Amino acid sequence: MAKIGFVGLGIMGRPMSKNLLKAGHSLVVYDVVPAGVADVTAAGAQSGASCADTAARSELVITMLPDGPEVETAMLGPGGVLEGAKAGTIVVDMSSISPLVSQKVAEACAAKGVEFLDAPVSGGEPKAIDGTLAIMCGGKKEVFDKVAPVLQKMGSSVTLTGPVGAGNVTKLANQIMVACNIAAMGEALVLATRAGLDPEVVFNAVKGGLAGSTVLNAKAPMVISRNFKPGFRIKLHQKDLRNALLAAESMKVSLPFTALAQQMLMALMNDGKGDLDHSAIVTFIEDMAGIEVKKQAATQG
């Protein structure tokens, strides 16, 4: 059982680190906010004094942080992971960040003899709790093979998709498809509702055909019942699409639908909806039509 350091004990990091404890690993954990540390130490982890101290006491360091700037601070900043990590340590960053930042951090790691994988996840809090996340990894095959058994304690699908940065490119591709799917679903249901149809009937009619999808099955019922409790927050999805556009620009790739969806998400954040589920993208399209997608009975009654 590896000695693991875990940095970043938020919505995702807490249940993920607890699954490693349940699997029998010994854990040293750290977060700048003490509440997360208290929660995971109560489940059996030891507390680290800083990112550097956590890394110094570990063979494998996992980070689960909000975005690239936090990863750079926690890894490269004063008191960061690279101050404490010995040569031979493996760092796995599971945050969803720009692949360009993953590559920058990997280079700094390599200069100290530290191995690095980027390994963002899909699935959200329920799958983090169940240990059934989809984990998309970028890095060297021999490093991936060493850490895959640990990652399998947190995810049911663990895939190496290419060199460092490939995990985050895969995650961004995932986020593009999900956001554009929700926006297209919104346009479709707004049109159907304005035409006087019950959106639930329309959803049931199309879900078995080519337009059917996991996104449609998960999000259409939320919209129709007006339940926008997150799930996955608007502000996190905005961050992911911004990272997708920055990565695309660096490769001279044009992503018009992604840009449009990112602008909708930005507008929704300015409208005070940043903490709603991303299914609330539909409300942007509803506002332009002046209509709400909801059950016909509720509309009439």
Yes or no: say if 166 and 138 are a contact pair by the CB < 8 Å rule. Answer: yes
Q: Which two tokens stand for residue 33?
A: 């906010």
Q: Which is nearer to ligand NAD, 10 or 162 (CB)?
A: 10
Please give the distance of CA 111 from its chain centroid, rounded to a whole number.
28
Q: Closest separation between CB of residue 271 and ligand NAD, Å?
A: 21
Half-sphere exposure of residue 211: CA atoms within 13 angstroms, side-chain side: 16
Q: Which is nearer to ligand NAD, 156 or 204 (CB)?
A: 156
Q: Closest separation between CB of residue 255 and ligand NAD, Å?
A: 19
Catalytic residue among 18, 127, 171, 273: 171
Could you give the CA distance from residue 75 to residue 14 in angstroms, rounded to a whole number? 19
Q: Is 171 a catalytic residue?
A: yes
Q: Closest separation between CB of residue 70 and ligand NAD, Å?
A: 4
Q: Footprint of ligand NAD on this chain (CB under 6 A)? A: 7-13, 30-33, 36, 51, 64-67, 70, 73-74, 95-96, 121-122, 124-125, 232, 236
Q: Which two tokens stand for residue 78?
A: 């004063």
Yes or no: say if 67 and 239 are a contact pair by the CB < 8 Å rule. Answer: yes
Q: Which is nearer to ligand NAD, 177 or 197 (CB)?
A: 177
Q: Which is nearer to ligand NAD, 67 or 287 (CB)?
A: 67
Yes or no: say if 278 and 182 are a contact pair by the CB < 8 Å rule. Answer: yes
φ/ψ (deg, to 5) at 138: -130, 135
Q: Which residue is nearest to ligand NAD (CB)?
A: 10
Contacts for 263 with CB less than 8 Å, ≥ 6 apart: none
Q: Closest separation between CB of residue 7 and ligand NAD, Å?
A: 5
Residues taking part in catalysis: 171
